[in-house]
Every structure is written in structure tokens, then in C-alpha cells.
Amino acid sequence: MNNYTINIHYLYHSGFSVETKNYFLIFDYYKDSFTGKTNNIYNGLISNDFIKSKNNVIVFSSHSHPDHFNPVILKWDKINKNIKYILSSDIKITNYKKNYYKLSKYKDLKLDDIYIKAYGSTDIGVSYLVKVDGITLFHAGDLNWWYWKEDSENERKMAGGNFKHEIKQLKGEKIDIAFFPVDPRLEEYYSLGGEYFIKEINPSVFFPMHLWDKMSICGKFKDYMGNCKTKIMCIENPGQNFQLAYEDGHLQLPQKDNN
């Protein structure tokens, strides 16, 4: 495979776009407008003109929560007829179309030369493993170690056990780029899930997500993890662009956090 640049934009919260050599992927698009911001990718927003200009577009939604599934995405196929949608089976849609593909936990799908498998979540819906153009991506959706202080001790124990069970299903997968929750609402327990995921799965590159408006948590998490082998990316604002090189059959670790 020829060398190429992987172009990633942080959209907002858990939303990312990933442009590989042959595909344009969008994960968990949420906010469709920001006060005072024009609709363009550099503000974390997908405009009609932008989506029209892309080839081989695949749009993923991990579950039906409104911070992960915005129905506006289903209007995009009126602008670009070649869009395909990968939707968690819990998302209820009235008019099912032939370009909609629903996945439940542990089911997989081959679309042309892209491979997609749904893994579990510790909330509703699924997480996604995607093999495309020589790289493997993982978008966790709401898969996380949800350690809420207000829960009972038994609830927290169950949450940890369920999370570790789902991570065990991923063992053996070589993940190049992971998008995974580091949620500031968990307060001092914000790092539990991300730290466990990194230690067990060892992704090459890790993008924190589920950030709401507190993107500073990324730098805090990176500092907390110290000099681990996984490259932890620091997100500062919606629309931020990250470029990663694919060379000689391998993802090259970035020397800087962003471009």
C-alpha cells in the first residue's frame, strides 16, 4: 500500500472525522452548530458543501443517546448519494434505507474493502472496530469504566467487572488509533477506564473523548499516564486537526500532538 496521511478532525465531545487514503469516516456526530461559528470542519462542524465533496463516506453512530446520535446525519445522503451509515441496533429509525447497516454487539460487516465489527458497551449501544486502508481504528462509544461516586459499592463493583469483561473481548486486536472516554464528570476517577484500556490493549495512538466542554482533561490525563508507549493526543478545541503518517505498512507515531 502506498504511503499516505491520515487526517483526523475532532468534532466535539465524542465526534471525530477520519480521512484515510480511500475513505472518509465520521464517528458520533453531535453538535451541529456553535454560536458565532460558521459551519466548517475547522470549527468541528460538517457543512453540506463539505459532505458533498467527499467520496466513500461512512457515518457511524454508536448508540441512540443524543450526545452520540444527531438525526441530522441522516439528511446527508440527500447531498451525497454514496454515503453509508453504520448504526447501533438500539437506534430507532422509521424509514429504513438500503444504505443503513445496523450492528449489534459482536456482529461484523464487510463493505467493499473495509471491515467493521461491533463490540460491547458498558452503557447502551456498541463500540466499533474498523479496519481500513492498512490501519485499525477503535471508537469506544460509551464503553468506559463508569465509576460514579453516588453509586453503591455493589454498583461500582459491577461496573468495573462489566467493563473489564468487554475489554477482554478486544484482547489480541492490534489497534492503531483509539478514541476512548476520559470523562471529567467522573472527577478523580476520570482516568480509570482509559488507563486500563491502554495497559490492556496498547493502542499506538489514543484520543481522549466524551469531553463535553472540558478539553483540558486531555492534558491532565496525558501527564497522569507519564511515559507510556501509547501516544496520547491533547485536544484543545473543536475542529482541531491531527495528521498521522502511514508509511511502509505501519502507522508512524507523531512527534507532536497536532498539526
State the pLDDT confidence band at 259, using cuts at 50, 70 and 90: very low
What is the distance between the alpha carbons of residues 102 and 104, in angstroms, rounded to a whole number? 7
Hey, what amino acid is at 78? K
Stated length of the chain = 259
Yes or no: say if 50 and 67 are a contact pair by the CB < 8 Å rule.
Answer: no
- Mean pLDDT score, 169-173: 96
Yes or no: say if 99 and 83 are a contact pair by the CB < 8 Å rule.
Answer: yes
- Mean pLDDT score, 125-130: 98
Yes or no: say if 62 and 73 are a contact pair by the CB < 8 Å rule.
Answer: no
Domains of the chain: 4-252 (3.60.15.10)
Q: What is the pTM of this model?
A: 0.96
> How many percent of the chain have pLDDT more than 70?
98
pLDDT 10s digits, 61-105: 999 999 999 999 999 999 999 999 999 999 999 888 999 999 999
Hey, what amino acid is at 137? L
Residue-level pLDDT at 66: 96
Residue-level pLDDT at 253: 85
Hey, what amino acid is at 201? I
- Cβ-based neighbours of 23, under 8 Å, separated by 6 or more: 56, 57, 58, 114, 132, 133
Residue-level pLDDT at 83: 97
pLDDT 10s digits, 226-256: 999 999 999 999 999 999 999 999 999 876 6
> In this predicted structure, which of 93-97, 112-116, 118-122, 225-229 has the lowest mean pLDDT?
93-97
Phi (first) and psi of residue 101, to 5 degrees:
-125, 115
> In this predicted structure, which of 123-127, 200-204, 227-231, 254-258 has the lowest mean pLDDT?
254-258
